[in-house]
Amino acid sequence: MRILSVVEESVVDGPGIRTVIFTAGCPHRCKGCHNPSSWNPAGGEEVEVEELVQRIKVSGWDGVTVSGGEPFLQSSALAELVMACKSLGKNVWVYTGYTLEQLEAMHDEAVQTVLDYADVLVDGRFEQSLRDMGLRFRGSSNQRIIFLNKV
């Protein structure tokens, strides 16, 4: 998986203290993007999913967030990562520039696996005109925090 960075203990990418994995590459190119250096799909470095899982084990906190860039660019590695995290009993959030509907319309097996296993999807592009610093774990008000198939 191509990874830009890993933040061991983040408090701003979902509830609690979370390990955050920033993936490389993003096709959305939102105006006002928090991290344009993430756009290049050849950026960052190649890391085995297994190595990421080890890092997550060591951190010891309950939450994992996959952010980007656009994590779904690498949907099969993402699916593998999300499943591994779930089997460790972690709570998993995935951020994406796509909407849930767009992801579902892809009819891609790996994408569907992510949606089946992740706890929360934060979806939608970042819209600068809808930017609101007061939002919980979101950048702009069009983005949604979607609790996937859970109670």
Partner 1 sequence: MKLLQLYEDVCVLPDQDLVQENANVDGKSPLGKLARLSSEVSKELSQTYLMSERSKQAVSENYLYVHDADYYITGSTTCCQIPLGQLLKYGFHTGHGTIRSPKDIRSAMALASIILQANQNMQHGGQAFPMFDVDLAPYVEKTYERQLSRLQSLPVDWDDAQLEQLAEEETISATYQACEAFIHNANSMHSRGGGQVPFVSINYGTDTSKWGRILIRELLRATERGLGNGETPIFPIQIFKVKEGINFHEDDPNVDLFREACRVTGKRLFPNFSFIDAPFNASYYDGMHESEVAYMGCRTRVMGNRHGEETSIGRGNLSFSTLNLVKMALVSESLTDFYRILNRYIDIGIEQLVERFDYQCTRRAEEFRFLYTQGVWRGSEQLHMQDEVRDVLKQGTLSLGFIGLAETLKVLTGSTHAESREAERIGLDIVTHLANRMRVAAEAHDLNFSLLATPAEGLSGKFVTRDQEEFGMIEGVTNRAFYTNSFHVPVYQSVSIREKVRIEAPYHALCDAGHISYVEVDGSLAHNAEAVESIVRLMRQHDIGYGSINHPVDRCGNCGLEGLIDAACPTCGEDEDIERIRRITGYLVGTMDRWNTAKREEERARVKHDAHSIRR
Q: How many CB atoms lie within 10 A of CB 70?
A: 22
Q: Provide the β-strand partners of residue 66.
A: 21, 94
Using the contact rule CB under 8 A, the part of the chain among 1-9, 64-72, 96-104, 114-122 near partner 1 is 1-9
- The item of ligand SF4, partner 1, none sharing an interface with residue 121, based on CB under 5 to 8 Å by kind, is none
Runs of H (alpha helix) within 60-99: 75-87
- The item of partner 1, ligand SF4, none sharing an interface with residue 106, based on CB under 5 to 8 Å by kind, is none
- The item of ligand SF4, partner 1, none sharing an interface with residue 35, based on CB under 5 to 8 Å by kind, is ligand SF4
- Please identify which residue in 36, 37, 45, 147 interacts with partner 1, judged by CB under 8 A: 45
Whole-number Å distance between alpha carbons of 27 and 14: 23
Whole-number Å distance between alpha carbons of 75 and 106: 11
Binding stretches for ligand SF4 (CB under 6 A)? 26, 28-30, 33-35, 38, 68-70, 97, 125-126
Asked if residue 120 lies in contact with residue 14, where contact means CB atoms within 8 angstroms, the answer is yes
Pairing label, strands 120-123, 144-147: antiparallel
- The item of partner 1, ligand SF4, none sharing an interface with residue 134, based on CB under 5 to 8 Å by kind, is partner 1
**CB-based contacts of 128: which residues, under 8 Å, 6+ apart?**
30, 31, 32, 140
Does 76 contact partner 1 by CB under 8 A?
no
Using the contact rule CB under 8 A, the part of the chain among 44-52, 67-75, 98-106, 117-125 near partner 1 is 44-52
Q: Which is closer to partner 1, CB of 4 or CB of 103? A: 4
Using the contact rule CB under 8 A, the part of the chain among 4-12, 66-74, 100-108, 143-151 near partner 1 is 4-12
Pairing label, strands 120-123, 91-95: parallel
